[in-house]
Amino acid sequence: MTVGNLRNAQLTINLHAIYSNIQHAVKRLDPGTVLFQVVKADGYGHGAIQVARVAEKAGAGGFCVAILDEALELRHAGITKPILVLGVTDPELAYLAASQNISLTVGSSEWLRSANKLLQDSHAMRPLNVHLALDTGMGRIGFQTPKELEEALGLLNDNNDRMAFEGIFTHFATADSQDDSYFKFQYQNFEDFMSVVKNKPKYIHVANSATSLWHKVCGGNMVRFGISAYGLNPSGREISEVPYELKPALSVTTELDFSKLVKKGRSIGYGATYTTDDDQWIGTVPVGYADGIPRALQGFSVLIDGHKCPIVGRVCMDQFMIRMPKNYPYGTEVTIIGRSGDQEITADDVADYLKTISYEVICGFSSRLRRKYV
């Protein structure tokens, strides 16, 4: 998608905020524990390469991504620290990952057998580093029983010249919930799995952002730090207390590109879903759902000059309309996420209105909105 560099509409990313969030997390780590910064989905929309470089300075010891392409992007940008792909990768790409020193997640013995054969046939120069995923209750990927895990450990031991057992991990489904009963259930399952692991790998990791903020778990030496690096609370509003200030790094701003006085009884936008009940100043904003402003935001408010201005009519592909308290000239700043005067709109505010989570909001802004780093 073409980046809109020639219009005033952007995500502004505060790199100092990201640095501060990560450094606070690093300072809280137990001795011998390393933080891997999660930069999947283009750094949750903040820019994977830019975030990775700041994270290195803040003390991150490695990175997590979702797909192999994201790992290769970091390598091509000159990032040399360890990288773990958290999703399942086609075993046919094992040689490529090994050649770039990229670690892969494995959740079945079948995958190990296939990858081992392909690595043997390709005469790989270095072994592939693998992290075994354990399904302790997330129900997503990973070994489901200690017996399955034992089989995989045997395969790794028999083929350690081609596949190195670098890590083992699980993922908690409810670490961001006040009710910790399911969290405890999963952690007990994790300990049951670990009872069959005689030779521990370099990395054992159970902690995501929420776990690192609110739970003290033993036996791990690596944290996968995700949403909180970007200054957002992983629980949304359920758990408000955090051990250090989380500084939101992302704001979304654009400008007013049209203003008109609309007489009483006139309709606005597709479907004529909004009709003025008196004479109103209506402004047009030059972004829409193609930029990641959801159509369902009709009725939500943006900020102009510290005033909340509701979105009237349906959000269009490239524009939306707002009701303003008075006339504002072309070029007046419009804040979609961020602060204007003494008012602020957060990603959680948007998420609450859409009945979703802040993760989806910040990952949803398209590449047509340029990224501005400060």
Residues 68-84 have pLDDT tens digits of 999 999 999 999 999 99
- What one-character-per-residue DSSP string does 120-155 give? HHHT-SSPEEEEEEE-SSS-SSSB-SHHHHHHHHHH
User: For residue range 327-351, what is the model confidence (pLDDT) as tens digits?
Assistant: 999 999 999 999 999 999 999 999 9
Task: Cite the active site residues.
Answer: 40, 270
Among the listed residues 55, 62, 63, 65, the one whose alpha carbon sits nearest the alpha carbon of residue 23: 55
User: For residue range 294-305, what is the model confidence (pLDDT) as tens digits?
Assistant: 999 999 999 999
The tokens describing 246, both together, are 């989380």
Q: Is 263 left (phi over 0), alpha (psi -120 to 50) or beta?
A: beta
The per-residue pLDDT of the chain, averaged, comes to 96
Q: Residue 122 has what pLDDT?
A: 81
Which residues are CB-contacts of 108 (< 8 A; sequence separation ≥ 6)? 143, 148, 152
pTM of the model: 0.94
**Residue 225, pLDDT above cutoff 90:** yes
Sign of torsion over alpha carbons 332, 337, 341, 344: positive
Q: Residue 167 has what pLDDT?
A: 98
Q: Residue 34 has what pLDDT?
A: 96
The tokens describing 61, both together, are 């010891």
Contact 48, 73 (CB under 8 A): yes
Distance, in Å, from the CA atom of 356 to the CA atom of 236, rounded to the nearest integer, reads 10
Among the listed residues 40, 78, 39, the one whose alpha carbon sits nearest the alpha carbon of residue 60: 39
Pairing of strands 307-312, 301-304: antiparallel
**Residue 199, pLDDT above cutoff 80:** yes
Q: What's the rounded mean pLDDT across residues 94-109?
A: 97
Contact 61, 87 (CB under 8 A): no
Read off the pLDDT band of 219 (50, 70, 90).
confident
Express as a percent the part of the chain with pLDDT over 90.
90
Q: What domains, with CATH codes, occur in the chain?
A: 15-230 (3.20.20.10), 250-345 (2.40.37.10)
Instruction: Give the distance from CA 186 to its chain's centroid.
Output: 23
321 among the known binding-site residues?
Answer: no
Q: Residue 127 has what pLDDT?
A: 95
User: For residue range 26-61, what is the model confidence (pLDDT) as tens digits?
Assistant: 999 999 999 999 999 999 999 999 999 999 999 999
Beta strands in the chain (DSSP E): 10-13, 34-38, 62-65, 83-88, 102-106, 128-134, 163-170, 203-207, 222-225, 250-255, 258-262, 267-268, 274-275, 280-285, 301-304, 307-312, 320-324, 333-340, 343-345, 370-373
Neighbours of 214 (CB within 10 A): 19
Which residues are CB-contacts of 110 (< 8 A; sequence separation ≥ 6)? none
113 among the known binding-site residues?
Answer: no
* Burial class of residue 247, CB neighbours in 10 A (0-12, 13-18, 19+): middle
User: For residue range 104-154, what is the model confidence (pLDDT) as tens digits?
Assistant: 999 999 999 999 999 998 877 899 999 999 999 999 999 999 999 999 999
Express as a percent the part of the chain with pLDDT over 70.
99
Long-range contacts of 260-267 (CB under 8 A, 24+ apart): 261/327, 267/313
